[in-house]
Amino acid sequence: MRDGDFLLNLSVEVASLELIRYCWRHNVLYLDTCIEPWPGSYDAPQRTLSQRSNYALREAVLAFRLDKRDGATAVVTQGANPGLASAFVKQALLAMATSQDIDPGQPRCYEDWAALAQRLDIKTIHIAERDTQLSSRRKQRGEFVNTWSVRGFVSEGLQPSELGWGSHERHWPDDACRHGYGCDAAIYLQRPGIATRVRSWTPLEGPYHGFLVTHGESISIADHLTLRERGEVVYRPTVHYAYYPCDDAVLSLHEIAGRNWGLQPERRIMREEIESGMDELGVLLMGNRKGVYWYGSRLTIEQARLLAPHNSATSLQVAAGALAGMVWAMRHPRAGVVEPDDIDYDLVLRIAAPYLGQLVGEYGDWSPLKDRSPLYQEAVDASDPWQFLNFRVG
């Protein structure tokens, strides 16, 4: 590649940081949708769970960029989630403030956005996604079926479950650990994401149990929405993914768990055989007095095919986020290494919106304690519904 070219990295198991280093040396613009390591480099038996985390991958990229702010732009983790999720959070914060006659001003830095989130009393943020795309060609025994990269999903799903850890939390999970270095905005659990379920909500699906799979935005959003006084954290929301994939992917996850997390011999990405359904992908902001607020994209398979043939709703949402990030990078070619939280959310949404179906913001009265059955004595904190203890499925 030559000076001024653009490297779009949508690969799996190709080390992102090595490509970023290459692009930096050769003045090549760069974008990826997640930070990837070399195969075998992060899941070797001798590596700790912390070393296998997205937290560790992010910290390595942040360390590289410390003294390289002026150079060829490299946008990391800019797809749908991570990527669009960070823009959705900012749009949701502004919409909530406006609906409650709160003047949000014009947030210009991380501290401004964090102060707005604190003012709205946002305690927890879920990237709340429900994929209802369905095919008449059902999953077969020994087959993993998904609406996007099987290897990508299984790879991140087998990493330790990770979440941004909020300042309001007062119940430390028994299987949780801190990393002991870096931004300290996130923790990890000693179990894989596809073995960890949490309660969440979207407007169309209603309440559901999602998988707490590690994602870059769980760490970066929590980090960027942190307020400190005299070096001490005074505000940070808990942030994590709550993913309910398509029904055949859920069946595939049950099977892979029974195989002791060994991947099935057959893998299939659903494309032309999808007959109905949508991907309801957004962010759920919780803690405000008016109720929970979900903002995001509702994209049906029919809409996706009209916009871009051969796509699913899921693939088009990811592509829209990547496209928006590429446009931003070309307009800001000397920004160095940046995350989705660093770039102009308004431009990102304007570029991506034509490919996202219906962009919706809705309040709801849901909480993780609503309608809980008295038959099952689970540990809960009734004094604060927004504790992670109340979200996690026992």
pLDDT tens track for 273-319: 999 999 999 999 999 999 999 999 999 999 999 999 999 999 999 99
79-318+345-391 belongs to CATH 3.30.360.30 = yes
Write out the two tokens for 257.
């768990």
Q: Where are the beta strands (DSSP E) in the chain?
A: 6-9, 29-32, 74-75, 124-131, 134-135, 143-146, 160-164, 176-177, 186-192, 197-202, 206-211, 227-229, 232-235, 238-244, 266-269, 274-276, 278-286, 292-300, 337-338, 358-364
Residue 129 banded pLDDT, cuts 50, 70, 90 = very high
Q: What is the pLDDT of residue 18?
A: 97
Yes or no: say if 364 and 346 are a contact pair by the CB < 8 Å rule: no
Cis amide bond preceding 82, omega within 30: yes
Question: pTM score, two decimals?
Answer: 0.97
Q: What mean pLDDT comes out for the span 386-393?
A: 97
- Please provide the average confidence, as pLDDT, over all residues in the chain: 96
Q: Which residues of 239-254 are buried (b: 16+ CB within 10 A; e: fewer)?
A: bbbbbbbbbbbbbbbe
Scan for tokens 């910290």, then name that residue: 59
- Segments making up each domain of the chain, as ranges: 79-318+345-391
Instruction: Report how many helices (DSSP H) and strands (DSSP E) the chain contains, helices first.
Output: 11, 20
Yes or no: say if 365 and 291 are a contact pair by the CB < 8 Å rule: yes
